[in-house]
Amino acid sequence: MSHDPRRPSTPAAPASPASERPSGPPADPVAELTRRLGHSFRDRALLDEALTHRSYHNERKQQAPRHNERLEFLGDSILGAAVTAMLFERLPDVREGELTRRRAELVCEAGLAEVADTLDLGAALLLGRGEERSGGRRKPRLLASGVEALVGAVHQDAGFEAAAALVKRLLGPRVGDTRGERDHKTTFQEWAQRHRSVTPRYELLEMEGPDHARSFRVSLQLGDEDYAAGEGRSKTEAEQEAARVALLRAEEETRAAERAAAERAAAERAAAERAATERAAAEEARVAQAAAQDARAAEPDPER
């Protein structure tokens, strides 16, 4: 390819040690991606194809004669088979329905996009100009498709066992993240929509640590308010933690509101009781006064 938008147009200088470049993207995102994948491609053309989005292919057919959709199709099937085998092996006591649910959680768009984040896959993708301008490197759909294409490329490069091993490396640590109960994000979203008429938003604040011990921190926002924050080993885990913290805060706010409402109701009842007592006393006084007046009126006039 005559021009790669992932790299500077001038020849890149040799990569310096990480300590000498504490910030900014790596000089060669493809090399970084290959290192994180843990697979050295014998056929580099397969890797290039897996990273080429259709938008780039449409603009540069001579430099990029293939795009990644065929590899994505292949990788999707391999992912499903590899994840199914992994869950079957690791969870011998889990019933079929629960295995199906867990597999869906692992291979869904959001889950694969999160895997792409840990690989920094977005930085290595080849995108057309329009897709680049629209933020394609952060779009979950493109990132998830890229992961599937990479799995397909590894299969074509080294066979099913190598592709299945890659799937285990990427998704194996997440098997324990799936839960049988309803997740905190769903529960809190229902609370927020019911009580605040808004949908929570999650913003990635920071991502720290080496590849094998990555830490994510996210903010949960309700409207313009930073309502809660959470940390975790993955973005999904951090979002779940933020939602859990938000649920605790919401529960406390609900209890406080209930206490305040109970106090207002008690004060209103006390005021109503005082008013009723005062009215009864006033009525009793009026009746007594009227009776006294009637008694005086009934007395004989001594002058008659």
Active site residues: 76, 148
Distant-in-sequence, close-in-space partners of 23: CB < 8 Å, separation ≥ 6? none
Buried b (16+ CB within 10 A) or exposed e, 126-155: bbbeebbeeebbebbebbbbbbbbbbbbbb
Q: What share of the chain is helix, strand, coil (3-state, %, to 5)?
A: 65, 10, 25
Give the pair of three-digit tokens for residue 268: 């209103």
HSE on the CB side for 122, CA within 13 Å?
Answer: 18
**DSSP element (H, E) containing 229:** strand 225-232
Residue 219: phi and psi, rounded to 5, are -110, 135
Nearest to 114 by CA among 94, 140, 89: 140
Diameter of the chain measured on Cα atoms: 136
Residue with tokens 């939602």: 243
Distance between CA atoms of residues 161 and 168, nearest Å: 10
Distance between CA atoms of residues 243 and 202, nearest Å: 9
Distance between CA atoms of residues 75 and 52, nearest Å: 15
